[in-house]
Amino acid sequence: MDIVILGSGNVATNLAKAFDAAGERLLQIYSPNIEHACVLAEQVGAEGISNLSEVVRNADLYIISVKDDAIEQVAQSLTEVSGLVVHTSGTTDLKSLSRYLKRVGVFYPLQTFSKSRLVSLDDVPLCLESSNDDDLSILIALAERLSSRVYQLDGEKRKVLHLSAVFACNFPNHLYVLAAKVLKESGLDFDIMRPLISETADKVMSNMPFDVQTGPSVRRDETTINKHLSMLNNLPHLQEIYQTLSNSIKIIHK
């Protein structure tokens, strides 16, 4: 399959490399920043471009993997192409594409991707959507070559998945950032936290998170909670988050 990828960021990089490894042909990589486009293009044997007017018209598949707010603008520039155009966003409607294009779909990988770290797609849930059965079949065939977990999901369910993913991935990672900040204030290294983080994630692989909640809030250890809150007097932003999450644990574990 001949593929053009619009975007050269975290997802574009991981998908381009996965498609390349699976034997698909990457024709072009687009980024508004030509250097970013060329760095990825070079790694997958494609042409790097920074102008949407340069996009070839005869590829089989166009994958828009830019920031959510730019998807529609990129879609508007693809009205002349004949191939299938998909985006990779959890929360963007299919309409953002179908408003301008005939053959459209969604190819949403439920995983956290960073440019600097190649993730195997083998067991990454690939959530697909298309209003056209033939195009959906094309996406399913492609996705099944990359992953053993392929799902056909409508836009509403995909949005719920993405919302849940923000709670399960983005927020915990932000809390690690805050944990590192607290440690750094006292000259301690984040490395000492890694076994705890690893076990916390491991536990929910075989248990429901509710059943393995620990900590002062679930125990109702008010003295400890108050000590922690006073230790954060100089960091009011963290104090507010600590209070909000402690209250949430108490509400959920009534």
Closest C-alpha to 6, from 112, 88, 80, 79: 88
For 121, the token pair is 């797609």
Instruction: In angstroms, give the least distance from the CB of 99 to ligand NAP.
Output: 17
Cα gap 110→180, rounded to integer Å:
26
Closest C-alpha to 200, from 213, 218, 217: 213
For 239, the token pair is 């104090």
Instruction: In angstroms, give the least distance from the CB of 194 to ligand NAP.
Output: 21
33 vs 137, beta carbon nearer ligand NAP: 33
28 vs 89, beta carbon nearer ligand NAP: 89
176 vs 213, beta carbon nearer ligand NAP: 176
108 vs 242, beta carbon nearer ligand NAP: 108
88 vs 246, beta carbon nearer ligand NAP: 88
For 194, the token pair is 């890694």
Cα gap 41→21, rounded to integer Å:
14
Instruction: In angstroms, give the least distance from the CB of 60 to ligand NAP.
Output: 20
User: Given the rule CB under 6 A, which residues bind ligand NAP?
Assistant: 7-12, 31-33, 36, 65-68, 70, 73-74, 88-90, 108-109, 112-113
For 185, the token pair is 């204030």
> By Cβ distance, which residue is nearest to ligand NAP?
9
Instruction: In angstroms, give the least distance from the CB of 177 to ligand NAP.
Output: 16
Cα gap 74→77, rounded to integer Å:
5
Instruction: In angstroms, give the least distance from the CB of 112 to ligand NAP.
Output: 4
41 vs 84, beta carbon nearer ligand NAP: 41
Cα gap 186→189, rounded to integer Å:
9
Cα diameter, the chain = 67
For 34, the token pair is 């030509």
Cα gap 172→152, rounded to integer Å:
27
Residue type, 62: Y
Residue 17 near residue 118 (C-beta atoms within 8 A): yes
Cα gap 86→233, rounded to integer Å:
48
Instruction: In angstroms, give the least distance from the CB of 221 to ligand NAP.
Output: 35
68 vs 221, beta carbon nearer ligand NAP: 68
Strand partners, 6: 30, 64
Instruction: In angstroms, give the least distance from the CB of 222 to ligand NAP.
Output: 38
